[in-house]
């Protein structure tokens, strides 16, 4: 391992924080947040920090938090199971239409996105003016329904969420669908989304339960969003079950969107093609049991991707920047992890204050995408330099493919 790519922050009264942040900025507030988390008594061994690190709610985005005997719901967050899916196709750049706007429009109709409903489709789902076949949604939901019903017996409020209705939908913010070209001209489809409204409700429900359970101890925490659930309690077991289900929902959500994305592209590109040639579907906001340094521990990845030796993952850049399909090196010091993207350098509010639509147009030149005031917060300049981020984690992953988007759909 190249030791120069790792920096160690010692925390008084806490575990060390190992940081893969060489050459990328780390805000002071994020360092303080990392130190707060490192002082929690159940942190195991150390915290690992990825180069896309930035301030989050409760715990820092871009961090890997191993715990023994407890879990912090706010560290997992409310976008449970958020992640990426990418699929290589047998299409090449020459097979794409000269005018990509029709392709973008077909994708926007096939994959419901944004916050506002369009036309009502199958069972009240928002599907846009081109209705995607609903069979894939029904099939996916039937695999999720029984376990969801059991979870709702303990948390009835979750039944009123947009659970079935959000399956196969993108959402807004930094979630996206892209058509990309790799380094030799093959076409890839890539998308970014998670467990949507039901995952948000699960995360919020258990964050509040943790705070309620610890009401008499909150004053002793460095941040009340570090309220935790202890192993052996009913709420801990219920949370582990619910968050596991939300992660399944998120994975199936991406699968359904990918199916409908492929169907939409076939309406525009009539040449027969195959896909899922090299499909990758990975979470970057989740928690699961893993074995590290001789112990079975819960590993929370908040804005980080599993990168076991030989495992494929996805590290997207921002709109207009490169993205990468990577193969993990299985670095034990990072708990077999890597970054989940470039990482923000400023808030959405600051990006909207600082940049204009003209800036957005210049930054996304050559990409068929929205270029309006409502997406300025996603401008590439609001994110870290993806090349610097990749260099900082050179001992965590190797690049398998470099992708450049030509179409980008955002909510």
Q: What are phi and psi of 258, to 5 degrees?
A: -65, -40
* C-alpha distance across the termini of the chain, in Å: 40
Catalytic residue among 54, 113, 340, 401: 340
Measured between alpha carbons, how far is 301 from 282 in angstroms, rounded to an integer? Answer: 12
To the query of whether residue 45 is one of the catalytic residues in this protein, the response is no
Return the structure tokens found at 56.
């989050």
Give kind and range of the element (H or E) at residue 116.
none
- 247/233 Cα distance (integer angstroms): 22
Token pair, residue 212, equals: 């309620």
Q: How many beta carbons lie within 10 A of that of residue 214, not counting itself? A: 18
Token couple for 385: 């330099």
Dihedral of the alpha carbons of 149, 152, 154, 158, in degrees to the nearest 10 = 170
Secondary structure E strands in 171-310: 176-181, 186-193, 229-230, 280-283, 285-292, 295-302, 304-306
Which are the catalytic amino acids? 340
């Amino acid at each position: 391992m190249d030791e120069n790519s790792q920096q160690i922050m010692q925390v008084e009264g806490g575990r060390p924080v190992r940081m893969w942040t060489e050459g990328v900025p780390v805000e002071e507030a994020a360092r303080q947040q990392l130190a707060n988390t490192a002082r929690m008594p159940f942190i195991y061994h150390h915290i690992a920090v990825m180069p896309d690190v930035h301030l989050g709610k409760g715990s820092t985005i871009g961090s890997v938090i191993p715990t023994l005997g407890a879990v912090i719901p706010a560290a997992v967050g409310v976008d449970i199971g958020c992640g990426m899916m990418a699929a290589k196709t047998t299409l090449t750049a020459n097979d794409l239409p000269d005018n990509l706007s029709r392709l973008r429009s077909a994708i926007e109709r096939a994959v419901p996105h944004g916050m506002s409903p369009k036309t009502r489709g199958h069972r009240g789902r928002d599907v846009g003016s081109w209705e995607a076949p609903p069979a894939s949604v029904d099939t996916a939901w039937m695999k999720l329904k029984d376990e969801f019903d059991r979870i709702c017996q303990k948390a009835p409020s979750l039944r009123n969420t947009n659970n079935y209705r959000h399956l196969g939908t993108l959402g807004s913010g930094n979630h996206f669908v892209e058509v990309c070209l790799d380094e030799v001209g093959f076409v890839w489809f890539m998308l970014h989304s998670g467990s949507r409204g039901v995952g948000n409700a699960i995360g919020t429900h258990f964050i509040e339960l943790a705070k309620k359970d610890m009401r008499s101890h909150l004053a002793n925490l460095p941040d009340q969003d570090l309220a935790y659930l202890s192993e052996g309690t009913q709420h801990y077991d219920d949370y582990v079950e619910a968050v596991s289900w939300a992660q399944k929902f998120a994975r199936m959500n991406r699968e359904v969107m990918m199916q409908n994305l492929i169907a939409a592209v076939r309406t525009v590109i009539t040449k027969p093609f195959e896909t899922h040639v090299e499909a990758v579907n990975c979470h970057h906001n989740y928690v699961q049991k893993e074995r590290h340094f001789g112990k079975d521990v819960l590993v929370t990845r908040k804005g980080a991707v599993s990168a076991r030796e030989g495992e494929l993952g996805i590290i997207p850049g921002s709109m207009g920047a490169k993205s990468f399909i990577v193969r993990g090196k299985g670095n034990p010091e990072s708990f077999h992890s890597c970054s989940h993207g470039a990482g923000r350098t400023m808030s959405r509010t600051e990006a909207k204050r600082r940049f204009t639509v003209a800036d957005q147009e210049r930054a996304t030149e050559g990409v068929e995408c929205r270029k309006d005031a409502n997406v300025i917060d996603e401008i590439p300049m609001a994110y870290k330099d993806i090349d610097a981020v990749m260099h900082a984690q050179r001992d965590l992953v190797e690049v398998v493919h470099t992708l450049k988007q030509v179409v980008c759909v955002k909510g």
